[in-house]
């Protein structure tokens, strides 16, 4: 992941020093629910990296949520999904088409220009127009 390591280290130092809330001067309860209109629903890439690093260091989700001003359930949900996805192998993409797009367009052009050609004559004409195709 690409994130700002300096800001993540700064926030992790604040966690270790006992500061509960980075944005305000007074300390608040950890995991206190914030109104829905004030909180940002999605985690940014920097916040995701911070959550992963904080879990690795052993911090609880409520401390992380208090610093990021998110709900603890949002932090735990993100981390549990991330753990499942991170253990999976990369997705294999299998192309199901038999012919490429250009080849299909050439075939369509031949059929539109010569609608009365039989399938054998159409295949022969296609081989003549597209060299190197051995099907």
**Tens of pLDDT, residues 33-71:** 555 545 557 889 999 999 999 999 999 999 999 888 888
- Cβ atoms of 67 and 22 within 8 Å: the answer is yes
Which of 18, 79, 77 has its CA nearest to residue 53?
79
In this prediction the pTM is 0.46
Would you say residue 24 has pLDDT above 50?
no
pLDDT tens, position by position, 64-120: 998 888 889 999 999 999 999 988 998 898 888 777 778 888 888 989 998 888 989
Q: Count CA within 13 A, CB hemisphere, residue 77.
A: 8
Torsion of CA 79, 94, 96, 127, to 10 degrees: 150
* Helix, strand or coil, per DSSP, at residue 3: coil
């Amino acid at each position: 992941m690409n994130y700002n390591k300096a800001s993540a280290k700064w926030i992790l130092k604040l966690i270790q020093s006992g500061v509960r809330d980075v944005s305000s001067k007074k300390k608040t309860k950890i995991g206190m629910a914030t109104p829905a209109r004030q909180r940002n629903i999605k985690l940014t890439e920097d916040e995701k990296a911070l959550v992963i690093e904080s879990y690795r260091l052993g911090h609880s989700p409520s401390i992380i949520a208090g610093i990021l001003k998110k709900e603890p359930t949002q932090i735990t949900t993100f981390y549990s999904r991330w753990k499942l996805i991170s253990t999976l192998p990369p997705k294999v993409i299998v192309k199901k088409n038999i012919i490429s797009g250009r080849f299909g367009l050439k075939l369509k052009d031949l059929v539109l220009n010569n609608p009365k050609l039989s399938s054998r004559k159409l295949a022969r004409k296609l081989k003549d127009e597209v060299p190197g195709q051995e099907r």
